[in-house]
Homo-oligomer: A and B are copies of this chain.
Amino acid sequence: MSYTYEYPHPAVTVDVAIFSIRHDALNVLLIKRALAPYQGEWALPGGFVEIDEALEHAAARELKEETGVDAGYLEQLYTFGRPDRDPRERVISVTYFALIPSDRLEIRAASDAEGVGWFPVASLPELAFDHAEILDTAFERLKAKLDYSTIAFQLMPATFTMPELRHVYEVITREEIDKRNFSKKILGLGVIEPTGEEKREGAHRPAKLYRVIDRSKVDVIK
């Protein structure tokens, strides 16, 4: 079967930069390309948009198909369209930015990828296409949004301690944060509450556990 148009049409893909916290570091999910071009190289999960499919749906679908991961939080990032960004044909990529809590990052078997893996943002392999640029844009978005939104909670498991949350901020901004001021600020947002439980972990005082009050209200501040 083939499809014919009066004027040339670009192909449209979606690519997803999905972040998570693993082993005290910010990680991003990559797939090893099974097919040319860039065969065997690492790339962001993504693929062609179906002709009757919403863009965001395509992003979530490709992510799931290629990596087995369900995005927790998903928002459009930017559209990359340099004419020569794909050697096959003109390809315009609508990219998405995603986050997933660290207790849900199991990778399941995927069909069209030889390999799937989480990579620390600090030590990435060479990436196919312009995916390094996409990832850089996504990382900048993440850092910017830490300041004026509450998306950081999208990286946390169902319950978490204040030191764990603070550590996530520190890992992303690469800056040390004062315990007291941080706690004051976060609690002042009014979006988390103590569970009443504690987390004992090592030879020291246990930390209180918190949970997000309403997961759907985790958005822009004020």
Contacts and interface: CB of A to CB of B under 8 A. Distances in A.
B3 A5 contact: yes
Interface stretch (A52-60, A164-172, A196-204): A52-60
Nearest to A52: B83
A9 B5 contact: yes
A2 interface: yes
Central interface residue in A12, A49, A79, A90, by most chain B CB within 10 Å: A79
Contacts of A92: 12, 49, 55, 92, 94
Interface string A59-90: 00000000000000000101101110000001
A190 interface: no
Interface in A106-144: none
Interface residues of A, number: 28
Contact of A10 (B4, B8, B51, B79): B51
Given A9-B9, A9-B11, A52 B90 contact: yes
A7 B53 CA distance: 14
Contact of A9 (B1, B6, B10, B94): B10
A10 B7 contact: no
Contacts of A7: 3, 11, 48
A36 to B, nearest CB: 16
B49 A10 contact: yes
A11 B49 CA distance: 12
Interface of A: 1-12, 48-49, 51-55, 76, 78-79, 81-83, 90, 92, 94
Given A49-B81, A51-B90, A55-B79, 13 more contacts: A2-B4, A2-B5, A5-B9, A9-B9, A9-B11, A9-B51, A10-B12, A10-B49, A10-B51, A12-B81, A53-B83, A54-B82, A81-B94
A-B complex: 8 closest residue pairs judged by Cβ atoms: A9-B9, A55-B81, A8-B51, A3-B8, A79-B79, A4-B4, A52-B83, A79-B94
